Amino acid sequence: MKRLSLSPDALRVLAAYGAAVLLFVIGAFVHPGFASFGSITSILLVATFVGLVAAGQCFVVLVGGIDLSVPWVLNAAAILLATSSLGQDSRAAYAVVLTLGMGLVAGFANGVGVVWLGVPAVVMTLAMNGIIEGLALGLTGGMTCGACASYAPPVIAASVHDVWLGVPAALWLWLVVILIVSFVLGLTRFGRITYAIGNNPRAAYLAGINVSLTTVCLYGLSGLFSALAGILLVGFGGQASLGMGTPYLFQSIAAVVIGGVSILGGRGNYLGAAAGAVSLTALVSVLLALNMPDYGRSIIYGVVILALLLLYGRDQRE
């Protein structure tokens, strides 16, 4: 008997989008104007940063890994962009390449530690987070250096804030990222191998797949996306500051989980994680509109993640 039904994975993605829509509707009741076009685009703009970090997180979670080095890779990227560009457009291209390169190298280092040194992903990426934090604080003298106060080059600020067709440029960029990542995961050899490894690394290896190299690349991509988010955050806020990456660890993992990507690897896609980023940001905005204090929001975050892991974790085990 064939039944007309969606796969559980597709249902989760739909559920994540449904949650986002629902939250906007609730928001509109709580606070008139919440669902206005301007309000929606500004919420989506905030979600963009979570979404970009979640893209990297999604790649490593798909192979059953995790990247806890997100906060300081992002933060170091923001600082590196500001200090290397000195706020000048002429130096912006060089600064962007340098910064993305830094993210990529940090990610590769994570991958090498996990794959070839056999360090568990949690330990390796947490250690990397600490190392980069130390480097960033040391090299900038705790953000007291002269260049540390530099503003984002105007061209980078514009690439976040400029409005095309009524929508901020960063949102267009995110849309492009969503398309590219979905394409890579869904239609390319690299994507297929990623799912294969996440499903069963031993079977993938015995089918002739270079599991080690692929895994290192995936960690590299995570570093790259954290760095990209760091660059755009400087453009968004104007300056780099200490601790600006901190919220993104929890939020990126939450977005991935809400979007239906299995924390054990092998299942889910970035379309879901992007929806997860939107629902998470919308949830925060609704709570803000309700004048919920910080601590209350933290508790609600935690409860949402636990609830989803319980819900999705169960049907994993059948």
**Interface residues with other proteins (CB under 8 A)?**
1-3, 187-190, 192-193, 195-196, 199-200, 202-210, 266-267
Q: How far is the CB of 10 from other proteins (least distance, A)?
A: 12
221 contacts: CB under 8 Å, gap ≥ 6? 55, 56, 59, 107
Nearer to other proteins, 170 or 211 (CB): 211
Whether the CB-CB separation of 173 and 180 falls below 8 Å is answered with no
Whether the CB-CB separation of 100 and 230 falls below 8 Å is answered with no
Nearest of 123, 75, 215 to residue 83 by alpha carbon = 75
Q: Which two tokens stand for residue 145?
A: 């250096």
Nearest of 175, 171, 182, 318 to residue 261 by alpha carbon = 182
Q: Which residues pair with 239 in a beta bridge?
A: 151
Q: How far is the CB of 306 from other proteins (least distance, A)?
A: 24
Residue whose token pair is 């067709």: 165
Q: Which CA distances in Å does 106 have to 12, 92, 133, 224, 248?
A: 32, 21, 12, 9, 17
Q: Which two tokens stand for residue 235?
A: 């453009």
Residue whose token pair is 């896609």: 269
Nearer to other proteins, 59 or 195 (CB): 195
Whether the CB-CB separation of 51 and 229 falls below 8 Å is answered with no
What burial letters (b/e) apply to 50-84, b meaning 16+ CB within 10 Å? Answer: bbbbbbbbbbbbbbbbbbbbbbbbbbbbbbbbbbb
**Distance (Å, whole) CA 252 – CA 249:** 5
Nearer to other proteins, 60 or 193 (CB): 193
